[in-house]
Each structure stands twice: as structure tokens, then as C-alpha cells.
Amino acid sequence: MKITFPHLGNVYIACKGFLEELGHEVVTPPICSRKTLEIGSKYSPEMMCMPFKIFIGNYIESIEKGADTILITGSCGPCRFGLYPIIQADILKRLGYDVDIIVFDAIGEGIDKLKTNVNKILNSKSSQEIYRSSKLALSLIRKTDDLSQLSNEVRAYALNKIDVDKIMNNYYLNIEQTHGAEELLKLIKNTEIDLREVPIDKNINPLKIGIIGEIYTIIEPFANLEIEKKLGDLNVLVEKSLTPTIWLEHHVLSYPFGSKHENMKHKLAEQYLKNPVGGHGRETVGSAIYYKSRGFDGVIQILPLNCMPEIVAKSILKTVEKDEDFPIMTLVVDEMTGEAGYLTRLEAFIDLINKRREKCIG
Amino acid sequence: MDSYYLGIDVGSVSTNIALIDGRDLLVYKKYLRTQGKPIDMIKDGIKELSESFGHSKIKSVGVTGSGRQLASIIVGSDVIKNEITCHAIATLNYNPDIRTIIEIGGQDSKIILMRDGIIVDFAMNTVCAAGTGSFLDRQALRLGIDISEFGNKALKSVNPVRIAGRCAVFAESDMIHKQQLGHSQNDIIKGLCQALVRNYLSNVGKGKDIQGPIAFQGGVAANVGIREAFELELGEELIVPPNYDVMGAIGAALLGKENVKVKGSTSFKGLDLYKNDYVVNGIDCNGCSNHCEILEIKEEDIVLARFGDKCGKWSSNSLRLNS
């Protein structure tokens, strides 16, 4: 059994570590590229959202590398993500790929099915072994997220942004040759040390921008045209409202009550939106208010074209922007290749915020 | 010797050049079609400029537009600024009371809201290019009329037809359908102008607090039909600045001038640069699995810039973009 999974930012690092600890052979899909999206678009329904298309591209690229089993999480939430595993399995079957698809659905979808699927992955290891692997995986998820955030922070202050590029690029290249969770953790630790040594200008008072919106497009750099890097290069300190760590804490570790952090966002969103609208629509509204309360200078909402929950949030954000007197910009991502228009919007948004700041101070 | 400040706006459809003097007044402007050859157009523009102003001193250069990075590498600029900020700066310089800018260019349409002289909100068209210059060009061609006649024909109509403006493709097929029914050309053109204005207001201008005075600029501002349709829809007269077609370049020139005051001297390579040969090469880097496409720009035999790599192997040795 050679297992693969779709990309979601840095999650592949933890996923690879976890599965390797359990004794599986893992085929990591090649980093998302234009080619991935091309393959995905070719075989996906035209009106589907972009993450779906990238997933299909990931699967096919992995299958070509020898994968025969695909691992994905399901979701019965009222957004198209809930349909992903079923439609995708069908597409792969029609294309003639003979692969096994293991879906981790929410418990509500049937405990027996979940048990069978979990057992396939656990590879009949002892409970002690499973506990150890899970702990390492969790630690990997946290550490990779922390490292991304550290790179964002260092980048905002770095004298030469290229120093950060070099370190992070090296890190990603080394991951391919590193196996097992403990080795990966070591690599992360070393990268962290390198990042902390990058010469910075402590006198910079960077703008702070929160990235909010649809979870996949926030987390996967290919989908958002590397927005964290682009903003960091413009001396902006970026923070994402959703990370794999935040997701895990809310949906798995604090099940069924939800994490404090995300519940607080629901509370903040309440005056605009009392009910979930699928996906992370409610969290997006709450996150905007949350970043305002933390003294951020603005937020950018990212959504894939025709993402229903985020369209609801987008219309509400207009009112939030006015009520809170807080700059909010929405960026819609799709199969775009040109970055010029994207960069123009980012730069203009930063100019706008800078002028606001000058006005407040002087 | 007279001193001037240069602004260059390299857009997808047009490349514009503006020269302002020490009192911020426009002394020269040039509107060229980019035609997918930005480097040649920049050279052409600079050549024409040098014929009229060859003996003057250019004290600063600002560049803007989607080809701004490229323009900066070729001419050596003091400021590289996005077109939204540039348009706002130029408009405020023309009339500081303006509160809303409607800008429609070749491929982009924008709305910029300003209060007390600063930008407070903006938006650009996302996935639909209906109503932009290229779309209008195409429809004029289809109707067999010159684009400069387009607006005047719309004004002659008293009974515009209703055309669906939700999407450029639908608008086009709806228009053809109306043509086949036998509606007059003037009525169709006016209907199209109204449809495009509705499209702009519901896409780009959606949810924006449009307050007067409103400025209308960009290449499409020359179209009186579109202008009239806007005035009808907004219930307010639009101000079209005299240099509506080169506002981005003027803004870049103004910002360059400001920047040089701080910087001290200009990075401009001089008006003779049009005599040089520029070559752009694509290189496929096989150094790692990223397979970056590197772009290399050479002036004669000297490498001016390399960019497009993720790791910095190529770009760190030359000028780096965006920083």
C-alpha cells in the first residue's frame, strides 16, 4: 500500500511523518504547480471550486509516482467540500485509475465506516505505538505552522528578504529527503535557528494584516499566489485566521465542544451572523472583528471563485468594514496565471492603510 | 536648462508617457498602443520624447501599470507604483475635491473612493472585462464603425434597446440578436453603453458609497456614450480631466518628483536609452524540482535583471523585483 493525500499547505509534512511512523510507504504529491491545476481542470466539472481541481491534479500526479491509496478527510458540512470524496472517486474510476480511497468522515456519518477506515491506516500497530505516532504528528503540525508564522514575522523585519527565501526554500527541498517524524522535527528546529539569525531591522514598525476567508485558499500558497510572501516582501506582518493547528484544535482535539479560540469568533460574528452558513463563512466574519480588536491594520479575505459560504461572508464584511471603520479587501482566486493585477491590488491596499496610519499619527 | 519629471504607464493595451514641469503642469503626453511589445513601445516613446526634449534635464522617473517592473528595469526609475495610487495622486493634483474616481482602461476597470485627499476604498474588476476598452473596440469593429464615432452615435439615439450586461459574452450575443431583429445601430450602441454601465456599477461599484464630485478617466472616458449613461444612472455630472487618458503616467511622474526630493538624484538612464538593444530570454532552471522559469533581460550584452526563481539563485545576483 503506497499512500498519498492532497496538498493543503504544510500539512503534507505532518501527514508524511505520521504515516511513515506507522510503517506505511508514502508518496507525497509534487508541490502544487501550474501543471497540477491544468491536470485538475481538465478532469473536473467546469463550475467546481478551485480546491477540487487542485486535489484531482494532486491525485493524478501522485498516482503517476506510484501511489495506489488516497487518504482524504470528508465533511458533511453544507459546502461543496462534502461532495469531494464521492465525485473525485468517481472521476478517478472513470479515468481508469485503480486506487483505493480512504475517507475519514465525521463521526456523524457512521462510526463503523470510520472505524474500518481508521484501522486500515493504523496498520495493526499497538496502541502504544499509535499514541506515540499521533503525538509526534500533532507536534509536527504545530511546529510546521509555527515555523511558517515565524518566517512571516522574520520576513516583515528582514533587511534582505532573499535571506528568508533561501532558508525556506532549502527547508522545503530537504523535506523530500527526510523520513520519519523525529528527523522532520530536527529539520524544523534547524530551520528555526537559521531564521532567527537573519539580520533584521528592529526599528521597522510593520503594518499588520490578517488573512481571512476560505480555509484551503488561505493555507495553500499555490492557491493564493503566495500572498504571505508577497506581503512580507512589502514589509507587512501577516497572520492567517485559519491554520491546520487551529482547525485540528477546533474540530478534533476539542470535539464535540469546539476550541475556545474558534468559539470566540462565533461570538464575535453573532451580531451579524447567528448561524453557520457552511464552510467557514461565520468564522470569516468573526475573524475580521477579531483582528480589528487585536489592533491589526486591515484584513484581506480570500475565496475561490463561486465559494458559497465566503460569498455570504463577503456581503456581510461590507457592513463590518463600515461599522468597525476597518479596511477589508476581498480577493477572488481562480485559475489565474497573471500576477500583475493581484499585486496591484495588494500594493494599493497597503498604500491605503499606510495613508490611514499617517493620518492617525500626524 | 529646463527641468522636467517623467512618468511612464505601461498598461496591457496602451503605453502612456507624461512629462510634467516644476509647477506640476503637463508639458508633453504620448499615448501608444502596447500591442504586446512593451519594450519596443517604451523605446519608441522615449525616442519621440528625446526628439522634442533632448536637451532638457529629466530629474526623475516614475513608472506604473501592469508592466511597471519591466519599465523600471529598462529606463531606471525612482519610483515603481501601482496604478490605483497613481490615478488617485494625479486626480487629486487636478482637483483635490474629487471623492470618487471611475477609471476604465483597456483591460481593467476600477473605482477609487477618496475622502479628505486619501484613498479610503477601491475595487477592480475581477473576472469579467465587459465595458473595458478592448471589449468596446471589439464591438465597434463588429458593428463596422470607428471607435471614435461610438459615443456620438449613442447620443443620437432616443430609444435605446435593452441589452443584457451581466457578462461580456451574453452582452455580445444579445447585441447580435437585437441587430438581427432590425434595431437601428444608434439604438443598439446606446443600449450597449447602458448595459456596460450597469455591469460596472453592479460588479466593480457594488456596495461602494459613490459620492460626488466624480472623475471619469482612462481611455474609455473619451466615449461620450458611456459618460452619458453613467450620468443618467448616477444622477450626477462626471468630470473628465483634460488629460484623462494619461492620468496614471501623470501620477507616476508626480510620485517620482516627490521621491527624488528625498533621494537626491535620479536613477534615470537618460533619453538616449532608446538606442540600445534589449533582449529578453527565458531560461528553464533545472536546479531543483521547482523548475522555475527564469526571465533574463539584457541591455546590449549586460544582464540587467533576472527574475522568476523561488530560491534566489538567479535573482540574488541581479536586481530583485518588489523590494
Q: Quick one: B271 and B226 in the same domain?
A: no
User: pTM value?
Assistant: 0.86
B289 Cβ under 8 Å from any chain A Cβ: yes
Give the gap in angstroms from C-alpha A170 to the nearest C-alpha of chain B: 8
The residue among A12, A32, A307, A347 with the most chain B CBs within 10 A of its CB, best to mutate, is A347
> CATH no. for residue B83?
3.30.420.40
Q: Is residue B270 part of a domain?
A: yes
Give the gap in angstroms from C-alpha B288 to the nearest C-alpha of chain A: 8
Q: Is B251 exposed, middle or buried (0-12, 13-18, 19+ CB in 10 A)?
A: buried
Q: Quick one: B57 and B169 in the same domain?
A: no
Nearest CA to A313 out of A336, A288, A294, A346 is that of: A288
Nearest CA to A343 out of A230, A213, A206, A220 is that of: A230
Q: Please state the separation of Cα A225 from the chain's center in Å.
A: 13
Domain count, chain B: 3
Predicted confidence (pLDDT) per residue in B203-252, tens digit: 888 888 899 899 999 988 989 999 999 999 999 999 999 999 999 999 99
Q: Quick one: B269 and B288 in the same domain?
A: no
- All three cell numbers of B34: 502596447
CB B81, CB B252: distance < 8 Å = yes
Per-chain mean pLDDT for chain B:
86
Query: In B, which residues are within 8 Å of A231 by CB distance?
Result: none
Interchain contact, B289 vs A356, CB within 8 Å: no
Place of cell 475581477: B126
Q: Is residue B94 part of a domain?
A: no
Selecting from A166, A332, A348 the residue whose C-beta is nearest the C-beta of B84 gives A348
Give the gap in angstroms from C-alpha B41 to the nearest C-alpha of chain A: 19
Give the gap in angstroms from C-alpha A108 to the nearest C-alpha of chain B: 38
CB B213, CB B99: distance < 8 Å = yes
Q: Is residue B323 part of a domain?
A: no
Among chain A residues, CA nearest to B82:
A344
Among chain A residues, CA nearest to B319:
A162
Nearest CA to A21 out of A117, A130, A102, A119 is that of: A130
Which numeric CATH code is attached to A205-361?
3.40.50.11900
Q: How far apart are CA A278 and CA B174, in angstroms?
A: 36
Kindly give, in sequence order, each residue whose CB lies less than 8 Å from that of residue A1, ignoring residues fewer than 6 positions away: A24, A25, A68, A69, A100
- Predicted pLDDT of residue B316: 63
A234 Cβ under 8 Å from any chain B Cβ: yes
DSSP secondary structure string, A266-307? HHHHTTT--S--STTHHHHHHHHHHHHHTT-SEEEEEEETT-
CB A151, CB A9: distance < 8 Å = no
CB A291, CB A301: distance < 8 Å = no
Q: Residue B128 — pLDDT band, cuts 50, 70, 90? A: low
Selecting from B108, B119, B315 the residue whose C-beta is nearest the C-beta of A341 gives B108
Q: Quick one: B111 and B236 in the same domain?
A: yes
Q: What is the largest CA-CA distance in chain B?
A: 66
Query: In A, which residues are within 8 Å of B207 by CB distance?
Result: 315, 318
Q: How far apart are CA B291 and CA B312, in angstroms?
A: 13
A360 Cβ under 8 Å from any chain B Cβ: no
Q: How far apart are CA B253 and CA B266, in angstroms?
A: 12
DSSP secondary structure string, B47-115? HHHHHHHTTSEEEEEEEESTTHHHHHHHH--SEE--HHHHHHHHHHHH-TT--EEEEE-SS-EEEEEEE
Q: Quick one: B35 and B130 in the same domain?
A: no
Rg, C-alpha atoms of chain B: 21
pLDDT at A78 over 80: no
Which residues span the domain enclosing B7? Answer: 3-89+247-275
Q: Quick one: B110 and B210 in the same domain?
A: yes
Q: Quick one: B229 and B253 in the same domain?
A: no
- Predicted pLDDT of residue B134: 82
Selecting from A165, A315, A347 the residue whose C-beta is nearest the C-beta of B82 gives A347
- Predicted pLDDT of residue B127: 62
Query: In A, which residues are within 8 Å of B127 by CB distance?
Result: 305, 332, 334
A35 Cβ under 8 Å from any chain B Cβ: no
A176 Cβ under 8 Å from any chain B Cβ: yes
* Mean pLDDT of the region B38-63: 88
Nearest CA to A322 out of B99, B234, B214, B121 is that of: B121
Give the gap in angstroms from C-alpha B103 to the nearest C-alpha of chain A: 15
- All three cell numbers of A306: 463561486
Predicted confidence (pLDDT) per residue in A249-268, tens digit: 888 888 888 899 999 999 99
Predicted confidence (pLDDT) per residue in A134-188, tens digit: 899 999 999 999 999 999 999 999 999 989 988 998 999 899 888 888 999 999 9
* Mean pLDDT of the region B97-119: 90
Judged by DSSP in three states, B266 sits in coil
- All three cell numbers of A296: 491589526
- Predicted pLDDT of residue B111: 93
Selecting from A30, A169, A351 the residue whose C-beta is nearest the C-beta of B310 gives A169
Which CATH architecture group holds A2-125? 3-Layer(aba) Sandwich (3.40)
